[in-house]
Amino acid sequence: MIEKISVPVSNDFCPQTLFCYGTYCDDGRPDFGLFCWLSYIWDRELGVMMCIADEKQTKDNIRKNKCFSANLVTEKMLPLADYLGNSDGRNSEKITPEIAVEKGQKLDVPILADSPVVFELEVVNSVALTEGDVFFCKIRNVLMDRALTDESVPLEKRIAGVAPVSTTCETYFSWGGKVLGGWGEVMGR
Ligand SMILES: Cc1cc2nc3c(=O)[nH]c(=O)nc-3n(C[C@H](O)[C@H](O)[C@H](O)COP(=O)(O)O)c2cc1C
C-alpha cells in the first residue's frame, strides 16, 4: 500500500516531453521557445492542445499567424533548447545564424534542422484564461527522420537513438532516466 500525503500543487514526478515551438515574427525573423505543456486530442483525427502562459513573442506570433512548429527536443539539442527557454524572444538577437533553421513543408513555419520529429501545427481554436491561453491545433504535417521509419530496426533502438528529453521537478531527464541538469543550467547555443 502507498501511504499518500497532500503536497503543494505541482506536477512533480509526472514527466513531460519537451518541444521547441517555432514561429515567424512580423519582420520575418524566426523565433523559438521551449515548451512542455503540450498534449494530444482527438477530433476525427489526431490533434494537439497546448497552453502558453503570460505574454511572450511566441504567443504574439501564434495569435497573428495561427500556425507554428513543435520540434521534439533531444539530448543533443538540450543546451540550445534550455537557452531558448530562458531567453526572451522580444530581444531580436535571440536567434543567431549559428542556430540551424529550416522551413516547414506544408505551413509557413520555421523548424529546427536538428530535431528528428517536427509537427507543423495550425491553430483552429483557443480559450483565453486569466493569465494563460490554451490553443487547439490540427496537425498539418509530421516531419520525421527517415531512419525512424525503418521497421527493420527494433523500436527500442530507434527511440534510444532519438534520445528525447523529458522534464519534471524543474530538471531535465534522459530517456533512460538520467539527470541531465536543472532548468537554466545547461544553456548553450
Ligand atoms: C523546461 C521549460 C519548459 C517550458 N514550458 C513552457 C510552457 O509549456 N508554456 C509556457 O508558456 N512557457 C514555457 N516555458 C517558458 C518559455 O520557454 C519562455 O517564456 C521563453 O522565453 C519563450 O520563448 P519566446 O520568449 O521566444 O516566446 C518553459 C521554459 C522551460 C525552461
Ligand 1 — pocket residues by CB below 6 A?
A: 31, 33-37, 51-53, 56-58, 85-86, 88-89, 94, 167, 183
Q: Is it the case that residue 189 has pLDDT exceeding 80?
A: no
What string of H, E and C letters represents the secondary structure of the chain? CCCCCCCCCCCCCCCEECEEEEEECCCCCEEEEEECCEEEEECCCEEEEEEEECCCHHHHHHHHHCEEEEEECECCCHHHHHHHHCCCCCCCCCCCCCCCEEECCCCCCEEECCCCEEEEEEEEEEEECCCEEEEEEEEEEEEECHHHHCCCCCHHHHHHHHCECEEECCEEECCCCCEEEECCCCCCC
CA atoms within 13 A on the CB side of 58: 26
| Separation of alpha carbons 138 and 121, rounded Å | 6
What's the pLDDT score for residue 73? 98
State the number of CA atoms in the 13 A half-sphere of 77 facing the CB: 28
- Tell me how far the alpha carbon of residue 18 lies from the centroid of ligand 1, in angstroms: 10
Q: Could you tell me the CATH superfamily of domain 16-182? A: Electron Transport, Fmn-binding Protein; Chain A (2.30.110.10)
Give yes or no for a contact between 135 and 64, defined as CB atoms under 8 angstroms apart: no
pLDDT score, position 172:
98
pLDDT recorded at residue 188: 85
If pLDDT is split at 50, 70 and 90, which confidence band does 150 have?
very high
Distance 95 CA to ligand 1 centre (A): 15
Q: If you average pLDDT over residues 179-188, what whole number do you get?
A: 96
Per-residue pLDDT tens digits for 27-82? 999 999 999 999 999 999 999 999 999 999 999 999 999 999 999 999 999 999 99
**pLDDT by residue (tens digit) across 113-142?**
999 999 999 999 999 999 999 999 999 999
pLDDT averaged over the chain? 97
**Domain locations in the chain?**
16-182
Asked if pLDDT for residue 185 goes beyond 80, the answer is yes
